[in-house]
Structure 1
């Protein structure tokens, strides 16, 4: 506390200026925008004296956001947020919607009416995301709120979808319900990452989205191939569009039955950062959800007493189209002969291979009318718990 008070007094009495981030709004889309510029203002020029003294006396929260508007030829918003513990400016927060661009860290991309549903005008809704600076390698998309139409019965996003281009990451289209999910995207050179949301307005589906876009420095990037990256000692991982409820799509008449919720044509890694003192990772089905690992086969035809148990698990060469891969696994404390898991149940799996990664593969559908020989019926995807295990 004394260090904080002395630092505050020193800043005030020595008339030190700080750097502010400038986001240039005018003609933003006419060029490749730079991340930020520097502009100096003295603390005496800001309405911060009372705030700083309140902080020093412990009467206010440690983080005080202050916004100043500088009226120049090109209107410029100056965003200042001091984290007094480290005297570092916090990130700017910017809201963007259809037909716009951003090169600011912590941008929120939402439909124009948000939080109300998207009305649409027949045209795709697009956002261009430029690098904030040369030290940036990735962006992280957090789906704060994301509800589009579901995929078709084969898992293809044909009516509604988020299309991601300009990235080196292995991701194509995302649709369905993905609130709470996140993905990491690699920049491909200096070009922007393009986000395009298109919907079939002929369908009576309520759609809305609010996506937080965080820029990730190269030194803090998620490992290559990790579409999802988790850093806690334990947590829950869900496949895209996972829910325990049935898909509303219906299979082709030649293969009747409810469709799959899983998104097709994906091959990505779910990575967990190994923490100090931990040497292995355990994967288990979500408790109380018998559909939490239903990734292949006819889920609806399965005996309900078997569904969601290890007895409904399929492994090895039987997993051809939809499956997860966990390297060098042990099952029931015995080494497994295979690293592939599919079916409608999941055994407790432990792996000591580093890095901690689970690879997700979904069927490469090739035609909107193609029906596989053994269709997936009523699959939900997966909802798995992970837990890092201490070294022994």
Structure 2
């Protein structure tokens, strides 16, 4: 048995020096690849992703020596126990080249309970074609844990509060939409960043800016994956978020069901700039697409509102029960969702814009939420907010954002 394991490790080491990882190897953990070298080597050679035993993170399956020499840490075994599950992790000032890596806050997993040092934390992802041997068109960012100081009047940063920024991605920058920066509570969210596959010499910088030095309990663990241009898991153009499951939930950035923060022994020590009634609202200046991958033999998608409080009515006021009167000619200002060709189950109304305090495919004010259907592919929701925040916390009526459940309907 020992000789068998030793032979497998030797064979693995030889083959991995010649074989480039395919998107199946990197993005379909736990599934059998289509190109089988032989039934014995397949589980070790081609299942490159693994789940770390110590913290449930995703890593890469490789020999222990290769893991340690490349800057990773061993977090369990894989490949029938003969290989190591290698996890890559870095914090401020780190420069990484691996496909599967984590950007964490200093002294993670402990909270940063005071001021952050350094106040501007920069994590660099260098796309090295000698290591990642396929053209990369996107970077997927998963906010496994993410808690920064909340926005102020709808904006992150601006020398007032924290911000998470990206440099080097064409669809995430300070100079234009859809996103200029993120902050607050983002745990469980994800985004896709577009990168030029030809410009591998240009690094991607992930930046957490706490230069305002407000005292807050901060913490982040951000998973980073490089997606090949020909991968079936590449998000369609214009999609900042991309959901591939048959059913799931979609929520606005910074969405929470309760107002945050609340001053206790474990929450901010200095929150004079934070209003507890607006701390958990959605952000200003958003303009992005949320896409859902259509599964085979699916003819429609249904959206149901678990909670919906997104802007005031473009047609009237933000009185409870009001909502958007939808036409294709409405002005672009205001906060609203666009569901192209949204309708009810009977297709009796065609409603494309949704806002206010009720989510319903009706042309008049609705008193309750109702399901919205779309029979047109691709399945996408566009999120738009303007640059006006309601600063008066007494009239904002919370405006928590939205939490929608989607379900794909079989033919």
| TM-score normalised per structure 2 | 0.67
Higher mean displacement: 242-251 or 141-150: 242-251
Distance across 2 between alignment mates of 1:70 and 1:328: 52
- Per-residue deviation at 1:313? 2.9
SS in 2 for 1:389: strand
- Per-residue deviation at 1:69? 2.5
Q: 1:269 aligns with which of 289, 292, 308?
A: 289
Distance across 2 between alignment mates of 1:14 and 1:238: 44
Cα distance change, pair 182–215 in 1 and its aligned pair in 2 (3 A): same
Distance across 1 between alignment mates of 2:406 and 2:92: 37
Give a deviation string over 1:96-142, Cα, whole Å, max 9, x none.
Answer: 10011111111110011111122412530001112234421111111
- 2:401 corresponds to: 381
SS in 2 for 1:339: strand
- 2:373 corresponds to: 350
- Per-residue deviation at 1:302? 7.0
Cα distance change, pair 377–127 in 1 and its aligned pair in 2 (3 A): same
- 1:45 corresponds to: none
The answer to whether 1:237 aligns with 2:250 is: yes
Q: 1:194 aligns with which of 202, 205, 209?
A: 205
- Per-residue deviation at 1:94? 0.7
Distance across 2 between alignment mates of 1:187 and 1:14: 35
Kindly indicate whether the alpha-carbon contact (under 8 Å) linking 2:309 and 2:355 is maintained by their aligned counterparts in 1.
yes
- 1:213 corresponds to: 224
The answer to whether 1:174 aligns with 2:174 is: no
| TM-score normalised per structure 1 | 0.70
Aligned length, in residue pairs: 325
SS in 2 for 1:18: helix
1:211-360 equivalent positions in 2, closer than 5 A:
211-220=222-231, 221-246=234-259, 258=278, 261-286=281-306, 292-297=307-312, 306=320, 311-316=321-326, 317=330, 320-331=333-344, 333-347=346-360, 348-360=371-383
Kindly indicate whether the alpha-carbon contact (under 8 Å) linking 2:304 and 2:406 is maintained by their aligned counterparts in 1.
yes
Q: 2:214 aligns with which of 183, 189, 203?
A: 203
Give a deviation string over 1:271-329, Cα, whole Å, max 9, x none.
Answer: 1100111111101111xxxxx2111039xx977xx5xxxx4432323883211111111
Cα distance change, pair 77–208 in 1 and its aligned pair in 2 (3 A): closer
SS in 1 for 2:230: helix
- Per-residue deviation at 1:63? 8.6
Distance across 2 between alignment mates of 1:279 and 1:133: 38
Kindly indicate whether the alpha-carbon contact (under 8 Å) linking 2:338 and 2:381 is maintained by their aligned counterparts in 1.
yes
Cα distance change, pair 361–128 in 1 and its aligned pair in 2 (3 A): same
Kindly indicate whether the alpha-carbon contact (under 8 Å) linking 2:72 and 2:87 is maintained by their aligned counterparts in 1.
no
Distance across 1 between alignment mates of 2:167 and 2:256: 27
The answer to whether 1:140 aligns with 2:163 is: no
Kindly indicate whether the alpha-carbon contact (under 8 Å) linking 2:125 and 2:203 is maintained by their aligned counterparts in 1.
yes
Distance across 2 between alignment mates of 1:252 and 1:206: 14
Distance across 2 between alignment mates of 1:382 and 1:173: 19
Distance across 2 between alignment mates of 1:156 and 1:193: 20
- 1:16 corresponds to: 11
- 1:49 corresponds to: none
- 1:127 corresponds to: 123
Distance across 1 between alignment mates of 2:8 and 2:151: 62
Give a deviation string over 1:6-41, Cα, whole Å, max 9, x none.
Answer: xx969949973534879xxxxxxxxxxxx9xxxxxx
Distance across 2 between alignment mates of 1:63 and 1:108: 14
The answer to whether 1:116 aligns with 2:110 is: yes
Distance across 1 between alignment mates of 2:357 and 2:272: 20
Q: Give 1 or 2 for the bigger CA radius of gyration.
A: 1
Distance across 1 between alignment mates of 2:193 and 2:111: 26
Cα distance change, pair 389–63 in 1 and its aligned pair in 2 (3 A): closer
